[in-house]
Chains A and B, each alone.
Chain A
């Protein structure tokens, strides 16, 4: 440095003294032209590919855009109320006949749910959002989670109707079970869970029926009953998807831990269960639920088809989730297990406090993957005469005299609904992963 300053006076005369003003970069090296050159036409093959891709996109858009923009929606009063009337309005121009969605949206969303009672599934849907928020976003006040706890019972009552005392008593049974759990958990976590399940099952089977009918005799609060067969459309996919995912995650955790267990019988049961379920297609299980189970039940047993299907889908998803979580467990360094042991934690404490929080975090992407797949798989129930969104479209609306021949409009609508939900789930899981990222990358 010192050297430079002493030489300052002897600057050679031909050296420019002032800085040349910056000139803009050449046109070809800046802005959109540069971007196009580098990304679209960097070489001849790439340029050709770009042109071909542009042509394909143009062809697709010139099909889809007029069809969408020119589509006929119509109005309630004036129609069009059939494909024929739609075509008369279009007068030969290309355009979708979206009037079918306008006329049938209630069936698409709610199936054959009684028309006067549509507020019930609607309220349930918004309730579901409220109940899901505190679970999804941990920063919200913890008290909101009380609503999440109550929500399944409210939702059951709203959707299926009947007397209010059944869900209230069932909620009471859960509270009783929790008391049993807190008494026993001092001895062992496992015993606590067992006590909880035993109390809930016993009260549910023997007490709720008689007590609720007595209470309903005294204070009758009832909604008109709705049969499972009447529930359909997109809410059926929703009910099945949400219930089965939320039930299968705890079951999947248990199965994953069982598969890693040192106890041979538990391990054996879990391995056989997981491998059996993973080896059988979901559709087979659904057929078993709808047809085969009837052979093993007493002839007049009224075992609701919805419950049978929920059980089957839950078992199916649980097996897959168990494997995803097992991956998470295997990915944890052995040191974590040993550290837990060194701290003197027992098995359940170690799992709850150290192992599972980390293993579950690792498994989030694959669990979400399974959840999205499961949500879409709920459309399979249309094969066993439950009329979900796809069943409503393919079996019912496709076969009405008015709308026979309408095709892409309805399937496109179904795809749109499913895309919104699935994309939402996937975005949420990515956000969650970022939130939980505690490692230094």
Chain B
């Protein structure tokens, strides 16, 4: 018993010390990144389209592009990123312990994560939502027809809770078939272990695209949850939070303003007629200085991988095997939800 008390006291002391250390780093993440010459970015251990490793061990994907944008803004070099793949379970602990500078890992922005876990979501880079996929031959047109169906679901995720809520509110029943990974889900679904597969709509699209005959399967119209995914940083360092937030906003605003990787060189060479483009690209005003970044940080971000729309098309858009349409992730001018605050 005595030993127990001693051990827990020791553990508590260690936790406090770690917390204090993280806070101590707090105001200085930007300086630390500049000193180190590289950004430590937490990403998924592997998620189709969002973070994956190519044959040369290079990370690429939609979430990875956000890391690269921040590295381009702060260090002028989109390759100056140390990627740290983190699992679902450890992601917040790793961020809070100061091991990584930011997390860009398809993480849903929720109240408790923002407030209770002492994290700061800087924005949304993908609006997702949970959906259902069924074989076409089942003849189902709405998720409400799924009474009693075996449903493949990733255990231990918010999708599991959403599913339970949905079936309870609609007063129908289901049999959960627990699986752990996307590829396992795909196999289980194909083998007929479950009649329905539910996960985020982006994941459903990727899974459906990987089938030999995608047209034999349909994604039902119901979206039963809101999953705003975005990059996040620790509480307590607002300057660093601003850097990540406005790097993301630069990607979004650049698309709205028509700045692409093709014309960014031309537009940033000399001031143009549009003052907002000038401010964003650093040819006018001192936005970069306010953030503690070089004046041309915006130009560096767009040069890295293009604007939001280009990144979307490159990694998850309609010309990729995943084939996601913009949907909610279109600019507000096109009926989507992307709306970057003004650069002023």
Contact = CB atoms under 8 A, between A and B. Distances in A.
Nearest to B210: A405
B226 to A, nearest CB: 24
A59 interface: no
Contact of A87 (B46, B182, B212): B212
Given A83-B210, A407-B187, A398 B181 contact: yes
Given A87-B212, A295-B11, A401-B315, A396 B52 contact: yes
B53 A107 contact: yes
A401 B10 contact: no
Contacts of B52: 396, 399-401
Contacts of B90: 291, 385
Interface in B1-15: 10-11, 14-15
A399 B322 CA distance: 12
Interface in B183-211: 183, 186-187, 206-207, 210-211
A296 B8 CA distance: 10
Contact of B210 (A107, A291, A396, A404): A404
Interface string A370-408: 000000000000000100000000111011111011010
B103 interface: no
A26 interface: no
Which of B55, B186, B210 has the most C-beta atoms of chain A within 10 angstroms of its own C-beta? B55
B47 A296 contact: no
B57 A399 contact: no
Interface in B52-85: 52-57, 61, 85
B17 interface: yes
Contact of B14 (A82, A107, A295): A295
Interface string B212-240: 10000000000000000000000000000
A103 B210 contact: no
A394 B54 CA distance: 14
Given A115-B57, A385-B90, A396-B46, A401 B322 contact: yes
Interface string A90-117: 0000000000000110110000100100
Contacts of B206: 401, 404
A385 B53 contact: no
Contacts of B48: 399-401, 404
Which of A297, A396, A401 has the most C-beta atoms of chain B within 10 angstroms of its own C-beta? A401
Interface in A106-140: 106-107, 112, 115
A398 B183 contact: yes
Nearest to B51: A399
A252 to B, nearest CB: 27
Nearest to A83: B210
A299 interface: yes
B141 interface: no
Contacts of A400: 46, 48, 52-54
A84 interface: yes
Contacts of A396: 45-46, 52-53
Contact of B55 (A107, A299, A394, A398): A107
A405 B209 CA distance: 9
17 contacts: A104-B55, A106-B55, A115-B56, A294-B97, A295-B10, A385-B85, A394-B181, A396-B52, A398-B181, A399-B47, A399-B48, A401-B48, A401-B320, A401-B321, A404-B206, A404-B207, A404-B321
Interface of B: 10-11, 14-15, 17-18, 21, 44-49, 51-57, 61, 85-87, 90, 97, 181-183, 186-187, 206-207, 210-212, 315, 320-322
Interface of A: 82-84, 87, 103-104, 106-107, 112, 115, 291, 294-297, 299-300, 385, 394-396, 398-402, 404-405, 407
Given A295-B14, A401-B206, A405-B183, 4 more contacts: A107-B53, A115-B57, A300-B21, A401-B49
